[in-house]
Structure 1
Amino acid sequence: MNNQHVQLNELIQISSGHILYFYEDLESYLENAVSYIRTGIEQGHHLLLIDTKQHLWKIGQKLKQETSQDRMGLVHFVDSHEFYAAHHDFHSHTILEHFKNILRPLLHQNLTIRTWALVEWKEQEEILQKLGHFETISDHTVNTLGLLSVCAYNGRQVSASFMNEMMKTHEYFMTDKELKKSSFYEKRSVTFPSLSLQEEQQRILEQNKHLHNETKSKLKTTTYQLESFITRNLDPILIFNDDNQVIRTNASFEKVFGWSSEEIMGVHAEDLPLIPHERKWEVQKNQAETLLGRYIQGFETIRKTKAGNERNVKISCFPLRDESDQVSGWASIIRDFTEEKQAQELLLRTEKLSVVSELAAGIAHEIRNPLTSVKGFLQLLKSQALENGIYYDIMLSEIDRIDLILGELLLLAKPQIAHFQRKNVCSLLKEVVTLLEAQANMCNVQIVMKSAVDDIYVTCEENQLKQVCINFIKNAIEAMPDGGELTIQLEVEKETVSIRFIDQGVGIPKDVLEKLGQPFFTTKEKGTGLGFMVSKKIIENHDGTVHVSSEEQKGTTIEIRLSGL
């Protein structure tokens, strides 16, 4: 055993007294507490130890190594936080009354008691005066009850003047290394409050308890409401601490994005897997704004699910504050409005299509009327001038072609009665390829047809389907300015015919691909933005679908799917 502790044990071979202990080193504090308790156990004293849970556990472990279980029954442990926290205003008389209530069963048995208490308090006004008053009354109580009592303070938390003042109310003064009589000790008579004042103090105490319970109840209600708001919210919620790490999420987050709470907890805001790499800057900006106490509402952006799907979201962020009104973290509410945005875009496309339909109808009718007159006069001239009949044939053929295109443009304006017939798609495509082969050769493009069989039939309007194939082949040729190969694949799977146009062109950027088919949207200098839309409309009228996939600098694939016979 340490010599200092042996000397301490010898000095406190006394039955009663009030000891003031200012400690500096925690390990020395614990050893002194163990020595004090062990000496009391050896003398058959009962011991009341008021200290923190951590200290109580460490002291208990040290005692158990050399003290029997029966003798450990002489030691009574009390959590100092609970002992002092019940009296938030550090009301001296109430604390000491509580102290005497704990000791009363032992006092009734005329047992010798020694106590050890680490004094704790909450920061409040005039706390030093309250502690001084507390120690004065404690000294009177210790002497009246005949106790040996140690009042311990953390020497790093109090001033030298406070130490000097406290030595006036303690018969003994103790440090980590020694124990001696206090030369400043002044045994004072204690004046207790009158009965009326005690009743007033009791009334105030009861009011404080009632206020405490009421505040506790309100806090519990608010906590429950907040918990319900988080757990039952249909929008995903993420809560971050002041280090920008996730500390809470809700079930909606897992439902929308796919990651469980365990996978997200502790992850830094910038490392969240739902944030696309190119949008990391958004997180830095949002968290900086929020930690400064600012609010972000309805910020529109893109987030990714665990399955890799992109979702359109609106993000709202706000700071979280602690009891001192300091920002201690922040929260983010993520509203998924992908379906709403898609509905808006569909409505916009529908409105544009309506405008185009009206425009197409007007143009078609205005041009068709004079074309009818020109065609009639050409037929009349042809019958009267046989020498130049070939030129008239060419002019009539071109007028017929214009009339056909106008008819197709009318598809956008209103449904027309089409003459659907059973046609061989292989033969139809060969005719179209023959028609465009010269143009392909001029652009150094080779057209290759691949089909497992020569006879594949569908029910279609032949001229309309030809127009679609012409549009897609021309687009593919124009997409290969340096030449290349255009592959046309025909496949039959069950009752579905697939026609694929696969080019080796420059490809279509993702943002352009999303707008493909919108009226008036085109990347061509002289385009109208109607070609793809007309083609798509024709295929839809054939109860078919058109799908486009593309990769920049590798090429584009357009797939038509039709019902076969």
Structure 2
Amino acid sequence: MSKNFISTVRYVNYLDLSFEQSQDAISVFDLDDNIITCNPAFEQLYGWTLEECLGKSISFYPETEYKKVHTRCELLYKGQSLANERVTEMRKDGTLFQAEISMTPIFNEHNEVVAISHIARDITSRLQMEQQMLEFERLQTMSTIVAKVAHEVRNPMTAITGFIQMMNQDPANPYSYFSEIMGNEISRVNQIVTDFLALAKPTLHDTTPLSILEVIEEVIIEFDEMFERYGITCQLHAEKIELPIQGDKSSLRQVFYNILSNSCDAIEHSGNITISLTVQKETLHVCIEDDGCGMDQVTLASIDQPFFSTKEDGTGLGMVITKKIIADHKGTLQVESQQSAWTKVWISLPLANDTLH
């Protein structure tokens, strides 16, 4: 047996192994779009087995891609190759994913195109990571700009506040009414600047295991005087409270402070606030319910919009900030309400990993 023959056999075996063991999904089509062969990675990615699709024309493109597919086929039939194109493809079950594909015409001994090879790689995770990096860079840039603007705005505001305080110290000040209004409006500007800084803050990175129950108890203490003044009863019910979450305490305090503040404003005089903590599977659920004035459906649908507020002195950023903080903690926040009856705020947060083992 000649060495050339042995080398050829080995070469063919290596090609077969490369085809079978490739991490990329490889398939070969004839010119009628029927599958001639495919490798295990193709079966895993698309959900079709070789037995199911051999000799058949299967569709793994959504209808929105048909025009692009037709254009690619025309180029391939003319002998041109396509490399590293980003496309949307479809699995057997109809789910879509982002792929990077390379397609090459296969020629016979007469230099005629007789088949098409199709190599695909799922890049959904890579695109998500790229998007996260772009979002992080955007937030970093926005944070820098907002911090600079906040500094430039607060400096003159501090000076103006000082002059107003000096004016108010004069009992003969004929403009005391107007200077008081000015002081209140400047405080509102400062609050808007503070809220902007909170919105521009990048996603949390440094977190520690903490007890949500302890955070809520500390916030409730801050409202004791307000509860007493408005005749509000606040009840706290907790279950399995020893299970911590991974989070930033200062940010979460702000969440519950904002929500309790809204509840107090909704109740105004005499009412009840009930806070319940429960654990289901790997998630901590917090429900904060008040029997205040509630909201109609139009108002409820608008509370996520920046600068929307039903309060005369509100900035309209409180709920936006609250939702952002919860999202940064990989949690969810939902609000339900019935006008003239009640409002419920549902917060779900994942438990710390150490508590799940």
TM-score by length of 1: 0.40
1:335 counterpart = 2:128: no
8 Å contact 1:498–1:562 — kept in the other structure? no
Q: Secondary structure at the match of 2:169?
A: helix
Distance 1:532 1:312 in 2: 34
Q: 2:112 aligns with which of 319, 326, 329?
A: 326
Distance 1:341 1:537 in 2: 23
State the match for 1:460 in structure 2: 253
State the match for 2:70 in structure 1: 284
| Range with bigger deviation, 341-350 or 378-387 | 378-387
Distance 1:319 1:313 in 2: 19
Distance 2:46 2:116 in 1: 20
Give a deviation string over 1:202-227, Cα, whole Å, max 9, x none: xxxxxxxx8xx777555534432332
Q: Secondary structure at the match of 2:193?
A: helix
Distance 1:404 1:318 in 2: 61
8 Å contact 2:254–2:322 — kept in the other structure? no
Q: Secondary structure at the match of 2:125?
A: helix
State the match for 1:236 in structure 2: 25
State the match for 2:156 in structure 1: 370
Distance 2:25 2:72 in 1: 17
Map residues 69-468 of structure 1 onto 2, 5 A cutoff. Answer: 217=6, 219-268=8-57, 271-272=58-59, 274-384=60-170, 385=172, 389-411=176-198, 412-413=200-201, 422=217, 423=219, 460-461=253-254, 465=258
8 Å contact 1:421–1:462 — kept in the other structure? no
8 Å contact 1:258–1:306 — kept in the other structure? yes
Distance 1:262 1:286 in 2: 27
Give a deviation string over 1:449-493, Cα, whole Å, max 9, x none: xxxxx8578962269736998xxxxxxxxxxxxxxxxxxxx9965
Q: Secondary structure at the match of 1:403?
A: helix
8 Å contact 2:167–2:176 — kept in the other structure? no
RMSD of aligned alpha carbons: 4.4
Q: Secondary structure at the match of 1:340?
A: helix
CA 369–362 in structure 1, closer or farther in 2 if over 3 Å, else same: same
8 Å contact 2:107–2:114 — kept in the other structure? yes
Shift of residue 496 of structure 1? 1.0
Shift of residue 236 of structure 1? 0.4
Distance 1:341 1:335 in 2: 12
Q: Secondary structure at the match of 2:24?
A: coil
CA 371–284 in structure 1, closer or farther in 2 if over 3 Å, else same: same
Letter in 2 for 1:320: I
Shift of residue 362 of structure 1? 0.7
Structure 1 unaligned segments of length 5 or more: list them. 1-209, 428-453, 470-489, 508-529, 549-557
8 Å contact 1:408–1:464 — kept in the other structure? no
Distance 1:468 1:363 in 2: 28
Give a deviation string over 1:496-524, Cα, whole Å, max 9, x none: 1268x99679x9xxxxxxxxxxxxxxxxx
Question: RCO greater where, 1 or 2, for CA within 8 Å and sep 6 or more?
Answer: 2
CA 294–388 in structure 1, closer or farther in 2 if over 3 Å, else same: same
CA 467–335 in structure 1, closer or farther in 2 if over 3 Å, else same: farther
Letter in 2 for 1:258: G
Q: Secondary structure at the match of 2:161?
A: helix
Q: Secondary structure at the match of 1:300?
A: strand
Letter in 2 for 1:234: Q
Structure 2 unaligned segments of length 5 or more: list them. 207-214, 224-233, 239-251, 263-274, 289-294, 302-316, 335-344, 352-357
Distance 1:467 1:237 in 2: 57
Distance 1:380 1:359 in 2: 32
CA 547–250 in structure 1, closer or farther in 2 if over 3 Å, else same: farther
Q: Secondary structure at the match of 1:460?
A: helix
8 Å contact 2:195–2:318 — kept in the other structure? no
Identical residues among aligned pairs (%):
23
Shift of residue 318 of structure 1? 0.6
Give a deviation string over 1:110-151, Cα, whole Å, max 9, x none: xxxxxxxxxxxxxxxxxxxxxxxxxxxxxxxxxxxxxxxxxx
Distance 1:532 1:291 in 2: 57
CA 343–562 in structure 1, closer or farther in 2 if over 3 Å, else same: closer
Map residues 30-45 of structure 1 onto 2, 5 A cutoff. Answer: none
CA 544–254 in structure 1, closer or farther in 2 if over 3 Å, else same: closer
| Aligned residue pair count | 270
CA 264–353 in structure 1, closer or farther in 2 if over 3 Å, else same: same
Give a deviation string over 1:239-293, Cα, whole Å, max 9, x none: 101211111111111222322222322332xx41x31121122222222221221
